[in-house]
């Protein structure tokens, strides 16, 4: 396998970070969590970025950080749930490597995120989050090179990604 990046996309709570860490460990790649990288560069939490700069400011920063991260190779990159809703970010991801959609059913995602401090979760009802999930689902599918299901076992999802890429 070459050292192109593997970019994971999917809805909040689908398991991109957990699956990504497992996959990176298995194939000796570096793991990059975009949300953590953004917080590190900004020197503040994502909720604080949203408060100070709004979602548009956050999305601009997200694109800049993704462009910088994609300059390196041999990485599994877990993007934020909305990162690949921007065409520029899709281009960056596809130029950098393979895009994998980590798909989990909405109820599982919701159970994982409902008590989080994520700005979109805090400002949205369950029904609004479900509508957002349904809106993003076709974008994830049309953007990805591969789709794998994460039903709660990250090792199985990581293996499925690995087999897809071989």
Q: Is residue 164 part of a domain?
A: no
Q: Is residue 127 part of a domain?
A: yes
What is the residue range of 37's domain?
Answer: 5-159
CATH number for 80: 3.40.50.300
Q: What is the pLDDT of residues 60-85, one digit of tens each?
A: 999 999 999 999 999 999 999 999 99
Bridge-partner residues for 83, per DSSP?
none
Q: Is residue 33 part of a domain?
A: yes
Q: How confident is the model at residue 136 (pLDDT cuts 50, 70, 90)?
A: very high
Q: Is residue 166 part of a domain?
A: no
Phi first, then psi, for residue 133 (nearest 5°) are -55, -50
Q: Is residue 165 part of a domain?
A: no
DSSP string, the chain: ----EEEEE-STTSSHHHHHHHHHHHHT-EEEEHHHHHHHHHTS-HHHHHHHHHHHHHHHHHHHHHHHHTTS-SEEEE--TTGGGSHHHHHHHHHHEEEEEEE--HHHHHHHHTTS--HHHHTS-HHHHHHHHHHHHHHHHHH-SEEEE-SS-HHHHHHHHHHHH-
Domain count, the chain: 1
Q: Is residue 94 part of a domain?
A: yes
Q: How confident is the model at residue 2 (pLDDT cuts 50, 70, 90)?
A: low
Q: Is residue 142 part of a domain?
A: yes
Q: How confident is the model at residue 3 (pLDDT cuts 50, 70, 90)?
A: confident
- pLDDT > 90? residue 121: yes
Q: What is the pLDDT of residues 88-119, one digit of tens each?
A: 999 999 999 999 999 999 999 999 999 999 99
Rounded to two decimals, the pTM is 0.95
């Amino acid at each position: 396998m070459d050292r192109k990046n593997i970019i994971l996309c999917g809805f909040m709570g689908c398991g991109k970070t957990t699956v990504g860490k497992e996959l990176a460990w298995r194939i000796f790649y570096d793991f990059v969590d975009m949300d953590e990288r953004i917080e590190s560069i900004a020197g503040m939490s994502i909720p604080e970025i949203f408060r100070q700069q709004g979602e548009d400011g956050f999305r601009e920063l997200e694109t800049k950080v993704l462009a910088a991260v994609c300059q390196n190779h041999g990485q599994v990159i877990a993007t934020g749930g909305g990162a690949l809703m921007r065409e520029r970010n899709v281009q960056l991801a596809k130029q950098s490597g393979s895009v994998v959609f980590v798909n989990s059913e909405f109820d599982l995602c919701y159970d994982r995120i409902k008590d989080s401090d994520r700005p979109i979760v805090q400002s949205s009802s369950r029904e609004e989050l479900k509508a957002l999930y349904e809106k993003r689902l076709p974008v994830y599918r049309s953007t990805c090179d591969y789709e794998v299901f994460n039903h709660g076992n990250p090792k199985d999802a990581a293996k499925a990604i690995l087999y897809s890429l071989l």
